[in-house]
Amino acid sequence: MSVEVTQTTLEKLSSSFETFKEEFVTFTSNVCWEARLQPKIVDFRLRDAYQLWQKDLDRVKKADELHDGLDHFKQCGHLGYWLRRSSPIVEFIDYSSAYTESAGSMGDDANSFRDLLYQYGTEYLAFDWAYEICLFHERTRSDKSSRADTLQLSRDYIRTVCHFMKCKHVSPHALSLILKSLFQ
């Protein structure tokens, strides 16, 4: 079962921790399975990410006196930031040996992706979830940019963003700007 991003995904994620958790677990499990890995998620860290994300959104709404609410870039920038900062994924369970026994060896892409997840799993999954939500919103806008339908992030770009998120201080506002700049 995959997570389907819709116009109401951000609202749905904000509605309750249980919904947020279900969506996050499904998303990360599906993404990691491409590398025959399953994430081990610590519940209290995921709850921290959710609560801090909600507090931050409330604070920013009040501080900026926004009447239309926060756009998807800002919401996703804060979402990615708190998921990275709270680090709810503590390890990966490796199912590759069972898979390779029954289906043959994994390809270079899967092995490369495994390496990325082992090095930058938290950062990659935080960024990827935020990016996928933004990508949906940008592709469904009536005034969408031409980049929305053709955007393909390179492996080098993804690795650079992950390294940046892991090794440098990246604020929620900076992450929002990174996401927004991809579509400009």
What are 94's strand-pairing partners? Answer: 37
pLDDT by 10s per residue, the chain, length 184 = 456 888 889 999 999 999 999 999 999 999 999 999 999 999 999 999 999 999 999 998 887 766 566 899 999 999 999 999 999 999 999 988 765 544 545 667 888 999 999 999 999 999 999 999 999 999 998 888 888 889 999 999 999 999 999 999 999 999 999 999 999 8
Let me know: does 40 contact 51? Beta carbons within 8 Å.
Answer: no
Which residue is listed with tokens 């249980």?
18
Q: Could you tell me where the beta strands, DSSP code E, fall in 36-157?
A: 37-41, 89-94
Predicted local distance difference test score (pLDDT) of residue 80: 98
| Amino acid 76: pLDDT | 97
Give the torsion sign (CA, 28, 32, 34, 37). negative
Rounded Cα gap, residues 88 and 23, in angstroms: 14
- The amino acid occupying position 33 is W
Query: Which residues contact residue 45 at a Cβ distance below 8 angstroms, ignoring those fewer than 6 apart?
Result: 86, 87, 88, 90
The pLDDT, as a whole number, for residue 142 is: 87
Domain ranges of the chain: 9-181
**CA distances from residue 158 to 49, 143, 144, 165 in whole angstroms, order as listed:** 22, 26, 23, 11
| Coil/strand/helix, residue 70 | coil
The tokens for 152 are 């393909």
Output the pLDDT for position 101. Answer: 47
d(CA 159, CA 118): 12
